[in-house]
Amino acid sequence: MNDGNLNTYNSSNVINWYVDLNEITKVEEFLFESNANILTNATVLDVGIGGGRTTAYLLDKCANYIGIDYSQGFVDVVKQKYPKANIQLADARDLIQFEDKKFNIVNFSFNGIDYVDLNNRKKILSEINRVLKPNGLFFFSTHNKNHFTFDRQPWTNKNNSFFTNFKTFIKLLPFLPKHARKKKKEIRFSDHAIINDSAHNYSLMTFYTSPQFLRKQLHTHSFTDIQLFTKNAKHANENALDDWIFVSCKKSLS
């Protein structure tokens, strides 16, 4: 991947789309509330804040909040929305401005970890482990390669009506030539892939992982107590997960 994903996240249309998002998901609320005793006294790093959706929720619920994004556009917007919040421009692949073992909780929502390639994903996991305190919590979500919707065009969704699928096709039709060009850059393996899905009109290259590969990566980077959840906050085995996998894990004590 190159800077194409960052260009997308700096575009005004995408920034405006995220600014209008205000609610956290059911599973996010469950994870935060389940750890409210920790959160209350925690120093929290909120990665990939976008339009400030999680900033609004976390800012007054923890002892010390820092929100970061690698998009200057998002940083500017959230600083304006929440002037009292500590919002910084930073890239999760290199958190050099933060010392080791600084944070009790790191949150990386809305699949933000999926917009880099495998090597950079490893850098992110390594950096998050570095800045977490021992036994610190890491919450994030990621795209599920094993879900039946993987690599399916959105207008073929059998759960939608013909009319809904037709409207989706018409909406995305002007962007299909771009999609055809980006498909040449796709990478596919049995346990993970990087594909050009329909998000933001086929403007992103997105990492998808199998739950098994996800666990392997987390163990490799010294994360333990790995728990996987559905969008409805149901603890699920690897065969019963949604198209997004929600993860709670801890930094190893060793």
State whether 185 and 135 are in the same domain. Answer: no
Domain residue limits at 89? 4-146+206-251
State whether 141 and 196 are in the same domain. Answer: no
User: What mean pLDDT do residues 190-197 have?
Assistant: 98
pLDDT at 1 over 70: no
State whether 132 and 83 are in the same domain. Answer: yes
State whether 61 and 141 are in the same domain. Answer: yes
State whether 198 and 210 are in the same domain. Answer: no
pLDDT digits (tens, 9 = 90+) for 67-80: 999 999 999 999 99
pLDDT at residue 140, rounded to an integer? 98
State whether 159 and 139 are in the same domain. Answer: no
User: What mean pLDDT do residues 195-222 have?
Assistant: 97
State whether 198 and 230 are in the same domain. Answer: no
The phi and psi torsions of 30 (rounded to 5 degrees) equal: -60, -45
User: What mean pLDDT do residues 44-63 have?
Assistant: 97
State whether 107 and 165 are in the same domain. Answer: no
Of 202, 221, 240, the one marking the end of a domain is 202
Give one word for 52, left, alpha or beta, with left for phi > 0 and alpha for psi -120 to 50.
left
pLDDT at 254 over 80: no
pLDDT at residue 158, rounded to an integer? 86
pLDDT digits (tens, 9 = 90+) for 82-129: 999 999 999 999 999 999 999 999 999 999 999 999 999 999 999 999
State whether 85 and 191 are in the same domain. Answer: no
Burial string for 225-244 (b: 16+ CB within 10 Å, else e) reads eeebbbbebeebeeeebbbb
State whether 60 and 175 are in the same domain. Answer: no
pLDDT at residue 3, rounded to an integer? 80
* End-to-end CA, the chain: 33
Collapsed DSSP state (helix, strand, coil) of residue 197: coil
Residue that has been written with the tokens 């999926």 in this structure: 114
Rounded mean pLDDT of the chain? Answer: 96
Q: What's the structural domain count of the chain?
A: 2
pLDDT at residue 2, rounded to an integer? 56
To 10 degrees, what angle do helices 211-220 and 118-131 make?
A: 50
CATH number at residue 88: 3.40.50.150
Q: Give CA–CA dist 192/215, Å, rounded.
A: 12
State whether 34 and 50 are in the same domain. Answer: yes
State whether 166 and 85 are in the same domain. Answer: no
pLDDT at 220 over 60: yes
pLDDT digits (tens, 9 = 90+) for 228-251: 999 999 999 999 999 999 999 999
The alpha carbon torsion through 56, 62, 66, 72 (nearest 10 deg) reads -10
